[in-house]
C-alpha cells in the first residue's frame, strides 16, 4: 500500500465495517461502509490511502485535492495548538504543523503545500516546497509560463511554482505591484539555470516596454514641476510604488531618455530638459 497515493485495489471481501481491499502483495485496507454502494467481490477500484482519526490506514474512493508528489494551494480552515488544518477534500482535515510553515498562516487563506509522510507515518502538509519543486521543466528562454506565487522575500525576490510543479523565481529588481502571495500570474522565462531552476520576469521584452515606461517617467516629471527624486540608485520598492515597474525596466527607460536628451540625472534625482 502506498500512503498518500491513489492505486488500483481489488475488493477481496466484505466485513461489518466495509469492504476489504487488497493489493498485488496481498496487503489489505478497509474501505468504510459509506463508500461501498454497488461494489462486488473481485472488482478493481481506484482508492486513495490515508490515515483515519486513529492513524490507521484507510481507503477512500474520493479524489483528494493533493497527493504525494504534487504541489497544490489549499485553504486554511482552522488553526490549533499543533498547527493549522487544511481542506483537502476528505472528511478528515489535513494537518499543516507549525514546524512546516515558512510563515504564520492565516485562517481562510490559501497556501501552496506539498504532501509528505511524517516520522510517525502520518500524512501531513508542508509549505517548505522550494527544494522539492521539480527542475526538469520543458521550458526554454523566451517562453511564457503560468506560475503561482508562494512566497516573497523583498531582499531576494518572488518564489514561483510554475504549473504548480517547477521551481522558478523572479528577482527583486523585477518585482512589481502585480506580484503578491497567492496569485497566479503569467511570466516570461529569461534564463534556465544549470540546475534547472527557471529565472522569470513579468515584463515583456525590453524594447516593447521602453517607450511606455519612458512616458510614465516624463508624465511624473511634468506633474512635479520638472523634477522627481528618482534615479538609477533608487531602491526597487520605491520605483514599484511610484511607477509600477521593476527597477531594471526603470533604468532602461532612463537610459532611453538620457540618450535622447529628454532628462538630466543628478545625485538627487532627474529633471526634465524638454
The predicted structure's pLDDT at residue 204: 60
The pairing of strands 18-22 and 6-15 is antiparallel
pLDDT band per the 50, 70, 90 thresholds, residue 12: very high
Tell me the average pLDDT of the chain: 93
Mean pLDDT along residues 33-48: 93
Q: Which CATH class is domain 144-201?
A: mainly beta
Alpha carbon distances (Å) from 149 to 31, 96, 108, 132, 185 = 37, 19, 17, 15, 8
Mean pLDDT along residues 19-44: 94
Residue 207 has pLDDT above 80, yes or no: no
The predicted structure's pLDDT at residue 11: 96
pLDDT band per the 50, 70, 90 thresholds, residue 205: low
Residues in CB range of 64: below 8 A, 6 or more apart? 48, 50, 88, 89, 90
DSSP-assigned letter for residue 268: S
Q: What percent of the chain has pLDDT over 70?
A: 97
Residue 257 has pLDDT above 90, yes or no: yes
The predicted structure's pLDDT at residue 178: 82
Q: Which CATH class is domain 207-272?
A: mainly alpha
The predicted structure's pLDDT at residue 177: 78
Residue 53 has pLDDT above 90, yes or no: no
Residues 90-141: tens digit of each pLDDT: 989 999 999 999 999 999 999 999 999 999 899 999 999 999 999 999 999 9
The predicted structure's pLDDT at residue 240: 87
Residues 159-204: tens digit of each pLDDT: 999 999 999 999 998 888 788 999 999 999 999 999 999 999 986 6
The predicted structure's pLDDT at residue 174: 85
Mean pLDDT along residues 77-99: 95
- Which of 25, 29, 100 has the alpha carbon at shortest distance from 58? 29
Higher pLDDT, 237 or 209: 237
Tell me the fold of 71-126.
OB fold (Dihydrolipoamide Acetyltransferase, E2P) (2.40.50)
Helix (H, G, I), strand (E, B) or coil at 154: coil
**Residue ranges per structural domain of the chain:** 6-60, 71-126, 144-201, 207-272
Residue 206 has pLDDT above 60, yes or no: no
Residue 209 has pLDDT above 90, yes or no: no
Angle at the Cα of 93 from the Cα atoms of 34 and 122, rounded to 5 degrees: 95
The predicted structure's pLDDT at residue 203: 67
Residue 24 has pLDDT above 60, yes or no: yes
Same fold, 71-126 and 207-272: no
* Superfamily name with CATH number, domain 6-60: Nucleic acid-binding proteins (2.40.50.140)
Amino acid at each position: 500500500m502506498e500512503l498518500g497515493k491513489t492505486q488500483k485495489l481489488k475488493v477481496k471481501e466484505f466485513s461489518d465495517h466495509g469492504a476489504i481491499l487488497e493489493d498485488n502483495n496481498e496487503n489489505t485496507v478497509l474501505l468504510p461502509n459509506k463508500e461501498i454502494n454497488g461494489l462486488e467481490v473481485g472488482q478493481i477500484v481506484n482508492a486513495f490511502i490515508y490515515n483515519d482519526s486513529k492513524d490507521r490506514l484507510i481507503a477512500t474512493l474520493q479524489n483528494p485535492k493533493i497527493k504525494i508528489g504534487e504541489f497544490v494551494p489549499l485553504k486554511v480552515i482552522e488553526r490549533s495548538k499543533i498547527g493549522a488544518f487544511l481542506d483537502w477534500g476528505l472528511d478528515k482535515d489535513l494537518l499543516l504543523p507549525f514546524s512546516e510553515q515558512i510563515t504564520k498562516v492565516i485562517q481562510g487563506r490559501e497556501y501552496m503545500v506539498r504532501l509528505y509522510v511524517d516520522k510517525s507515518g502520518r500524512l501531513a502538509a508542508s509549505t517548505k516546497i522550494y527544494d522539492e519543486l521539480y527542475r526538469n521543466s520543458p521550458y526554454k528562454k523566451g517562453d511564457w509560463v503560468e506560475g503561482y506565487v508562494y512566497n516573497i522575500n523583498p531582499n531576494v525576490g518572488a518564489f514561483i511554482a510554475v504549473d504548480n510543479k517547477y521551481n522558478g523565481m523572479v528577482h527583486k529588481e523585477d518585482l512589481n505591484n502585480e506580484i503578491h502571495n497567492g496569485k497566479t500570474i503569467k511570466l516570461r522565462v529569461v534564463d534556465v539555470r544549470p540546475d534547472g531552476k527557471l529565472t522569470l520576469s513579468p515584463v515583456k521584452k525590453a524594447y516593447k516596454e521602453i517607450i511606455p515606461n519612458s512616458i510614465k517617467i516624463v508624465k511624473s516629471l511634468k506633474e512635479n514641476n520638472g523634477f522627481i527624486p528618482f534615479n538609477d540608485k533608487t531602491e526597487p520598492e520605491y520605483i514599484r510604488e511610484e511607477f509600477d515597474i521593476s527597477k531594471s525596466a526603470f533604468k532602461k527607460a532612463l537610459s532611453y531618455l538620457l540618450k535622447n536628451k529628454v532628462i538630466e540625472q543628478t545625485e538627487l534625482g532627474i529633471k526634465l530638459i524638454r
